[in-house]
Structure 1
Amino acid sequence: MPDYIPRVLSQLIAWFVNFASKLAVHGPTLGVTAAEITAAANDSTTVQHVINGQQIRQTDAQEFTRFRDQVLYGGESGEEPGAPAPGTITPALPDPIPFGIIPRTRDLAQRMKSHPLYTTAIGEDLGIEAPEALPVDAQPVLTLTVETGFVVRLGFPMRGFPMIEIQCKRPGDADFITIGFDSSEPYLDSRAPVVAGQPEVRQYRARYHDAGGPIGTWSDIVSATAQP
């Protein structure tokens, strides 16, 4: 069933920014207090922090993995690797840190919908009217970009789906192996090559998921040669 709150993490930021902004406009008409409007603004800031932060820390982990592999196995350039610095997460968290943001927001939305002055137009402006259902026959489209250090960057439009499963097949693999799940692009495959220092062909495919499991069909298989 379609949901008015996006299931894709990358879309939650825009949704909460809009909700907090429009709540300041429509909230007083629908019985929302000034404290609740302020809380919604803090919720929006917190959503931005935790989602941006997860992506930044994921990138930090991938960069540190590359650094680890350079330290352990060396690189073609022979240059001494530099330790990566962790990224800065913005905006800053409010104090105190809100929790249970989504269920609390749903409760507020339901309360507003029960108000006699609520209209569908107001709900659409707030973003609390459900969109059309997602297609069940969806097939992801993968794009690949080869970077240095045996990194392959995968791009994939999410099309409103909450998650995508990424599989890869490398030399020596009998079949495709799941290497990760992601909720937003890009995904960086920064694994060390099967044979240290040697280019290798990697084949990729992907499939959308939601809470109930896989959706639609596997993408077409695409290939790239990972390089030093």
Structure 2
Amino acid sequence: MPKSDYIPHSDSDLLLWHDHFKNAIATLKDSLGFSDADLAAINADNEQLHQTISAANAAAVAAHSANAAKSSTIGEVENNTRAHARRAKAQPAYVESMGVLLGIIGSATHIDPASYKPILTATDQTGGIVQLKFNKYKSDGINIYCQREGETELTLLSRTLVSPFTDKRPLLVAGKPELRRYTAVHLLGDDEVGQFSDELVVNCTP
């Protein structure tokens, strides 16, 4: 019967495993014929492993913070700009040509329900919490499907009418990162219409 790989794949488990390996090999060095130079190389590997994983985690936290700040700023600026646009359009002297010049007149669009395809974005908020944003167009909302790490297929997570939706499920294993796949499809009434969104893979960090 084949055995599983003895080296763990998650960062946290790998660090614990390599720490144990480093310490255990030091106690068995003479029996197994390992030299001081061999131990020095193993210790160097261990130190590099800790440094690079720590740096990657710090970069992920910084990226999460920067993206949250970006989203907040974009939302604030959009709200302010829409208020300015409404004020401009309410002025007696306002004419449509001014709106064209300012870029505050939306273009007319025709959407075929059969071609609906949600644009889904996701933000990991740590601890298993994921915020999902989507475009409604002229639909009534979306069905969101998800597949968690270890599951074999996508299953319905939520029927939601308002963006954003927050997946508040905790991590399957506390403290261990988890991959989730998300996709969504538009709704008209209770019926799913159009195409499914592109799948998103989210690395949920502790």
Specify if TM > 0.5. Answer: no
Name whichever structure is richer in helix by fraction.
2
Q: Which structure's relative contact order is higher, taking Cα pairs within 8 Å and 6+ residues apart?
A: 1
TM-score calculated relative to the size of structure 2:
0.45
**Bigger radius of gyration among the two:** 2
TM-score calculated relative to the size of structure 1:
0.40
